[in-house]
Chain A
Amino acid sequence: MSLYGMMRTGVSGMNAQANRLSAVADNIANSDTTGYKRSSAEFSTLVMPGTGGAYNSGGVTTTIRSAISSQGVLQYTTSVSDLAVNGDGFFVVQDASGTPYLTRAGSFVPDAQGRLVNAAGYQLMAYSYANGTPAATANGFEGLVPVQISDQAMTATPSTQGSFTGNLPAGATPPSGALPSSNSATAEYTSKSSLVAYDNLGNKVLVDVYFTNTGPGTWEVAAFDQSKATPGTSFPYTGGSLGTANLTFDTTTGKLTGSTTGLTFTVPNGSPLNLDLSKLTQLGTGFTVTDAKVNGNAPSTIDKIQIGQDGVIYAQYADGSTKALYKIPLADVQSPDNLTAMPGNVYVQSADSGAVHIGFANEGRLGSIVSGALENSNVDIAEELTNMIAAQRSYTANSKVFQTGSDLMDVLVNLKR
Chain B
Amino acid sequence: MSLSSALSIAQSALLATSKQTSVVSRNVADASNPDYSRRIAVVTSTAPGARSVEIQRAANDLLFRQNLSALSAWSGQSALYSGMDQLQLSVNGVDNASSPSTAIANLQQALQLYATTPSNQNLGTSVIDAAKQVVSSLNSGTQAIQDFRTQTDGQIATAVSDLNSLLSQFQDANKAVITGTRSGTDVSDALDQRDALLKKIGEYVPVSTFTRGDNDMVITTKDGTTLFETVPRSVTFTASAGYTAGTPGNKIYIDNVPLSGTSDNTTADGKLAGLLKLRDGVATTMQSQLDEIARGLVTAFAETSSSQPNAAGLFTWSGAPAIPAAGTLVNGLAGTIKINAAFDPSAGGNPSLLRDGGANGAAYVANTTGGASYSDLLIGYGNKLDQPMAFDTSAGITVTSGVSDYAANAIGWFEGVRQQASTNADAKQALAQRTAEALSNDTGVNVDQEMSLMLDLEHTYQASARMMKTVSDMLDALLSAVGP
Binding site for B on A (CB under 8 A): 31, 71, 73-76, 84, 86, 166, 191-196, 204, 206, 208, 226, 229, 234, 286-293, 303-304, 306, 316, 319-322, 370, 373, 376, 379-383, 385-386, 388-389, 392
Known: A76-B12, A321-B182. A196 touches B230 (CB 8 A): yes
Closest approach, in angstroms, between the C-beta of A269 and any C-beta of chain B?
Answer: 17
Q: Is B426 an interface residue (CB 8 A)?
A: no
CA distance A293 to B3 in the complex (A): 54
- Chain-A contact segment, one of B35-43, B81-89, B210-218, B366-374: B210-218
Instruction: Let me know if A76 and B52 touch, CB within 8 A.
Output: yes
Closest approach, in angstroms, between the C-beta of B314 and any C-beta of chain A?
Answer: 47
Instruction: Let me know if B213 and A293 touch, CB within 8 A.
Output: yes
* Extra pairs beyond A234-B256, A319-B175, A385-B481 (19, CB < 8 Å): A71-B48, A73-B9, A74-B47, A75-B11, A76-B12, A192-B255, A194-B226, A196-B231, A206-B233, A229-B256, A286-B223, A286-B224, A292-B212, A319-B178, A380-B2, A381-B4, A382-B4, A385-B475, A386-B478
Instruction: Let me know if A287 and B224 touch, CB within 8 A.
Output: yes
Instruction: Let me know if B49 and A192 touch, CB within 8 A.
Output: no
Q: Is B18 an interface residue (CB 8 A)?
A: no
Nearest chain A residue, comparing its CB with the CB of B471: A382
CA distance A376 to B49 in the complex (A): 10
**How many positions in chain B have a CB within 8 Å of any CB in the partner chain?**
48
Contact bitstring B75-111, A, C-beta under 8 A = 1, else 0: 0000000000000000000000000000000000000
| 12 sampled A-B residue pairs with Cβ under 8 A | A75-B12, A84-B47, A194-B226, A288-B224, A289-B218, A289-B224, A320-B180, A320-B182, A322-B182, A322-B183, A380-B5, A392-B482
Instruction: Let me know if B175 and A73 touch, CB within 8 A.
Output: no
Closest approach, in angstroms, between the C-beta of B233 and any C-beta of chain A?
Answer: 6
Closest approach, in angstroms, between the C-beta of A216 and any C-beta of chain B?
Answer: 21
Closest approach, in angstroms, between the C-beta of B185 and any C-beta of chain A?
Answer: 10
Which residues from A are CB-within-8-Å of B48?
71, 73-74, 86
Closest approach, in angstroms, between the C-beta of B219 and any C-beta of chain A?
Answer: 10
CA distance A74 to B8 in the complex (A): 9
Q: Is B240 an interface residue (CB 8 A)?
A: no
CA distance A73 to B6 in the complex (A): 10
Nearest chain B residue, comparing its CB with the CB of A76: B50
Closest approach, in angstroms, between the C-beta of A166 and any C-beta of chain B?
Answer: 7
Q: In B44-72, which residues have CB < 8 Å from any A CB?
A: 46-50, 52
Closest 9 CB pairs of A and B: A320-B179, A380-B2, A287-B224, A73-B49, A196-B230, A382-B3, A74-B47, A320-B178, A74-B50
CA distance A111 to B97 in the complex (A): 84
CA distance A321 to B213 in the complex (A): 11
Closest approach, in angstroms, between the C-beta of A308 and any C-beta of chain B?
Answer: 10
Q: In B174-211, which residues have CB < 8 Å from any A CB?
A: 175, 178-184, 208, 210
The answer, among A73, A74, A195, A288, for a CB contact under 8 Å with B208, is A288
Q: Is B474 an interface residue (CB 8 A)?
A: yes
Which residues from A are CB-within-8-Å of B182?
316, 320-322
Instruction: Let me know if A289 and B226 touch, CB within 8 A.
Output: yes
CA distance A382 to B212 in the complex (A): 54
Which residues from A are CB-within-8-Å of B4?
31, 73, 379-382
Which residues from A are CB-within-8-Å of B9?
73
Which residues from B are CB-within-8-Å of A71?
48
Nearest chain B residue, comparing its CB with the CB of A370: B47
Instruction: Let me know if A75 and B225 touch, CB within 8 A.
Output: no
CA distance A304 to B183 in the complex (A): 9
Nearest chain A residue, comparing its CB with the CB of B220: A289
Closest approach, in angstroms, between the C-beta of B144 and any C-beta of chain A?
Answer: 31
Q: Is B241 an interface residue (CB 8 A)?
A: no
Binding site for A on B (CB under 8 A): 2-5, 8-9, 11-12, 15, 46-50, 52, 175, 178-184, 208, 210, 212-214, 218, 220, 222-226, 229-231, 233, 255-257, 474-475, 478-479, 481-482
Which residues from B are CB-within-8-Å of A386?
478
Instruction: Let me know if A206 and B231 touch, CB within 8 A.
Output: yes
Instruction: Let me know if A194 and B255 touch, CB within 8 A.
Output: yes
Instruction: Let me know if B231 and A204 touch, CB within 8 A.
Output: yes
Instruction: Let me know if B475 and A289 touch, CB within 8 A.
Output: no
Which residues from A are CB-within-8-Å of B225?
192-193
Known: A204-B231, A319-B175, A376-B8. A385 touches B256 (CB 8 A): no
Which residues from A are CB-within-8-Å of B175?
319-320
CA distance A395 to B49 in the complex (A): 36
Which residues from B are CB-within-8-Å of A234?
256
Which residues from A are CB-within-8-Å of B479?
385
CA distance A76 to B19 in the complex (A): 13
CA distance A220 to B223 in the complex (A): 19
CA distance A389 to B255 in the complex (A): 81
Which residues from A are CB-within-8-Å of B8?
73, 75, 376
The answer, among B11, B15, B210, for a CB contact under 8 Å with A289, is B210
CA distance A86 to B49 in the complex (A): 11
Which residues from B are CB-within-8-Å of A291?
210, 212
The answer, among A84, A166, A204, for a CB contact under 8 Å with B230, is A204
The residue among B11, B220, B222 with the most chain A CB atoms within 10 A of its own CB is B220
Instruction: Let me know if B229 and A292 touch, CB within 8 A.
Output: yes
The answer, among B50, B214, B226, B478, for a CB contact under 8 Å with A373, is B50
The residue among B11, B218, B231, B475 with the most chain A CB atoms within 10 A of its own CB is B218
Which residues from B are CB-within-8-Å of A306?
183-184
CA distance A71 to B481 in the complex (A): 29
Instruction: Let me know if A320 and B183 touch, CB within 8 A.
Output: yes
CA distance A373 to B15 in the complex (A): 14
Which residues from B are CB-within-8-Å of A74?
46-50
Closest approach, in angstroms, between the C-beta of A198 and any C-beta of chain B?
Answer: 10
Which residues from B are CB-within-8-Å of A289?
210, 218, 220, 224, 226
Known: A289-B220, A293-B212, A382-B474. A388 touches B482 (CB 8 A): yes
Known: A75-B8, A381-B3. A192 touches B256 (CB 8 A): yes
Nearest chain B residue, comparing its CB with the CB of A298: B230
Closest approach, in angstroms, between the C-beta of A145 and any C-beta of chain B?
Answer: 25
Which residues from A are CB-within-8-Å of B481?
385, 389
Nearest chain B residue, comparing its CB with the CB of A166: B224
Which residues from A are CB-within-8-Å of B179?
303, 316, 319-320
Known: A379-B4, A385-B479, A389-B482. A191 touches B224 (CB 8 A): yes
Instruction: Let me know if A194 and B183 touch, CB within 8 A.
Output: no
Instruction: Let me know if B184 and A208 touch, CB within 8 A.
Output: no
Nearest chain A residue, comparing its CB with the CB of B213: A293
CA distance A226 to B49 in the complex (A): 57
Instruction: Let me know if A193 and B212 touch, CB within 8 A.
Output: no
Instruction: Let me know if A320 and B214 touch, CB within 8 A.
Output: yes
